[in-house]
A and B are shown apart, each in its own frame.
Chain A
Amino acid sequence: MTLRISDLVNAEASLVSRRCWSDPDVYALEKRGIFGRSWLFLGHESQISNPGDFVQAYMAETPIILSRGTDARIYANVNSCTHRGLPVCRADHGNTKRFICPYHNWSYSVEGDLVAIPQEGALCNKPDKAQLGLKRVSRVESWRGLVFGCFDEQIEPLESYLGDMRFYLDAFLDRFAGGIEFLGAPHRWVINANWKLPVENQLGDVNHGAFLHSAIIPREAQDLIEELGLSVVPRPGHGATFRLMPEDSPVDDMAWGMEGLGGMFGGDEVQEYLREIQAQAASRVGDIRARMKGLTYGIYPNLSFLWSNTSFKVSHPRGPGKVEYWSWAVVPADAPDHIKKILRTNYSSFFGPGGILEQEDSEVWIQQFQGSNIDYADDRPYYYGLGLGEEKVHPELPGLVSVTANEFYARHFYARWRDELQAVEDT
């Protein structure tokens, strides 16, 4: 292609071309250079706790079955029959012994091995079934119950890929003695936007709150977020934002879950439950992480974690101009059922396809994608220079740290994105 990636993102990634979000050639490169070579989120172990359990997932546009084998190990296979390509799994989740293709009934085990070809009884030459299983995802690893897959056999281990992002994820995940649980099938909705737009929003863009969401978030609340808020890049491409609460903060100001509508209006029992989790936080995750009150996180390339409203989200591309956005409510696994039902509304009241707040965000991503298609303005790349060079190391927090107005989280993301695409553009 005539377009060069080096023309799209400048050296310090403070200027990013509109074509990054709109050009079909860029998207074709992303499929190879980003989605072909990164750890991509598949699901959570709580969704497949028993042998035979499965959920559907995607790695970019590739449909995946994530399953628990009869040997209790986790498997990820491409959901496409080796015979004629149909999906062999149609349900969002369930438990099964076999995945069966509707066309000619080729049957696969829950591990993805081909176990039956109905036609072979009539034939002399039997196909070698061992060679005809579902296409397996090259690498599957999990950390703290979060399961990722990668198409590239050579990728670094998941733990080093996450790097210091683990420190920030643990501030939430390790608060709960029983771990976390993903509730039900994901909410999935289609947005006419580029996949990187939802990602960037959750990666560190805290400061749009005062403006885009001013119909819902009062100015004083947003001021407090910005005053106590920190933005961290633990490794380029990942990001974490949170409020570091003062040591003498009242427990109700500090505790996770209290600021959602479920926590606020769900009754005394829920609030006591949340206070109890906060009371154990320092002994579980240490003093400084116990004082973290999360906002949003991003894990490169397309997984987001909205800590404040407790939801994991994946931005699955469907071409340069379409996203299938998936999100799950997340709760402590050992909470009583009636408390889980209240806590899930901390997510669904404000976020998801019916959320009061998120409708503004998806509107913006659609319009931003439309703006990115204005080729007459190709000489007006988007400005990502706010706070250039102002991020610093911190005595207690790993990575680079700054105020939330600093756009360094996005510069690091697009610099990594640029470098990874450059590595494949001539291959």
Chain B
Amino acid sequence: MSELSLQTTPEQQRALERFYHYEARLLDARQYQQWLTLVSPDIRYLMPSRVNVMVDNRQRGKESMISVERELEGEDSLGCPIREESYLHLMVRVERAFKINSWSENPPARTRRIVGNVELMAQEGDALSVLSNFHLYYARPGNADCIYSGQRRDLLVPAEQGYSISRREVVMDYANIEVPTLGLLL
């Protein structure tokens, strides 16, 4: 994805950002049940694993030598992505959050997301390919506070609340995973 994003109208750009800001606010306010209404029933929710790969000598001098894509073991690879989920998985995660015995969220984490760099990369019919970056501050009693950083690669379709997320791939920035869990709704 080395090309510029699509030319958008200020209204279209605003609509995308409005949607992501709303989504971030719901998640930080722990309104996960409402968040789930932003998700399409056929969603693919993915998080590739991130690997330290060998430098390929033949790629020397080219951007492909150190491309991020080479580091990802995603759904098409025969590695093991960290998450490959459907609506059902997300539903289980949301239901779990509202049980008093989900101990790793009792007391729940305090989070704050900043979502930015929203870029509309492609449009096919109704479906929009959108990139966004996020930083998330995460604090839980008994644990050291930490920062989550990553990129989201979404497929959005227009819906009542702006859009519906029909595919999300979350590319996390980590070497070793030092955060308590990658099971958050990101």
> Measured between C-beta atoms, what is the minimum distance from A310 to chain B in Å?
11
Among B55, B77, B83, the residue within 8 A (CB) of A348 is B83
> Measured between C-beta atoms, what is the minimum distance from B102 to chain A in Å?
4
Tell whether B86 is near chain A: CB-to-CB under 8 Å: yes
Of the listed residues B77, B79, B142, the one surrounded by the most CB atoms of chain A closer than 10 A to its CB is B79
Task: With A188-B177, A356-B92 as known contacts, state yes or no: A345 contacts B84, CB within 8 Å.
Answer: yes
> Measured between C-beta atoms, what is the minimum distance from A311 to chain B in Å?
9
Tell whether B5 is near chain A: CB-to-CB under 8 Å: no
Tell whether B82 is near chain A: CB-to-CB under 8 Å: yes
Tell whether A383 is near chain B: CB-to-CB under 8 Å: no
Decide if the interface of chain A is mainly helix, strand, loop or mixed: mixed
Among B51, B89, B144, the residue within 8 A (CB) of A261 is B89
Q: Is the CB of A185 within 8 A of B54?
A: no
Q: Is the CB of B52 within 8 A of A356?
A: no
> Measured between C-beta atoms, what is the minimum distance from B111 to chain A in Å?
15
Q: Is the CB of A91 within 8 A of B52?
A: yes
Q: Mark A86-102, 1 if CB is under 8 A from B, else 0.
A: 00001111111000000
Q: Is the CB of B180 within 8 A of A363?
A: yes
Segment touching A, from B20-28, B34-42, B93-101, B116-124: B93-101
Q: Is the CB of A328 within 8 A of B51?
A: no
Rounded to whole angstroms, the CA-CA distance of A353 and B81 in the bound complex is 11
Among A214, A341, A355, the residue within 8 A (CB) of B101 is A214
Q: Is the CB of A216 within 8 A of B96?
A: yes
Tell whether B145 is near chain A: CB-to-CB under 8 Å: no
Q: From B50, which residue of chain A is reached at the shortest CB distance?
A: A185
Q: Is the CB of A366 within 8 A of B80?
A: no
Tell whether A367 is near chain B: CB-to-CB under 8 Å: yes
Q: Is the CB of A354 within 8 A of B182?
A: yes
Tell whether A68 is near chain B: CB-to-CB under 8 Å: no
B-facing residues in A58-106 (Cβ within 8 Å): 90-96
Q: Is the CB of B51 within 8 A of A184?
A: yes
Inside 8 A of A348's CB, which chain B residues have their CB? 80-84
Q: From B170, which residue of chain A is reached at the shortest CB distance?
A: A354
Rounded to whole angstroms, the CA-CA distance of A355 and B180 in the bound complex is 11
Inside 8 A of B176's CB, which chain A residues have their CB? 188-190, 324
> Measured between C-beta atoms, what is the minimum distance from B178 to chain A in Å?
5
B-facing residues in A239-265 (Cβ within 8 Å): 261, 265
Q: From A56, which residue of chain B is reached at the shortest CB distance?
A: B52
Inside 8 A of A91's CB, which chain B residues have their CB? 52-55
Rounded to whole angstroms, the CA-CA distance of A261 and B85 in the bound complex is 10
Binding site for B on A (CB under 8 A): 90-96, 183-185, 187-190, 192, 211-212, 214-216, 261, 265, 324, 328-329, 337, 340-341, 344-345, 347-349, 352-356, 359-360, 362-364, 366-367, 370
Given pairs A190-B178, A354-B47, A363-B103, 4 additional interface contacts (CB within 8 A): A341-B75, A348-B81, A348-B82, A353-B82
Binding site for A on B (CB under 8 A): 47, 49, 51-55, 73, 75, 77-86, 88-89, 92-93, 96, 99, 101-104, 142-144, 176-178, 180-183
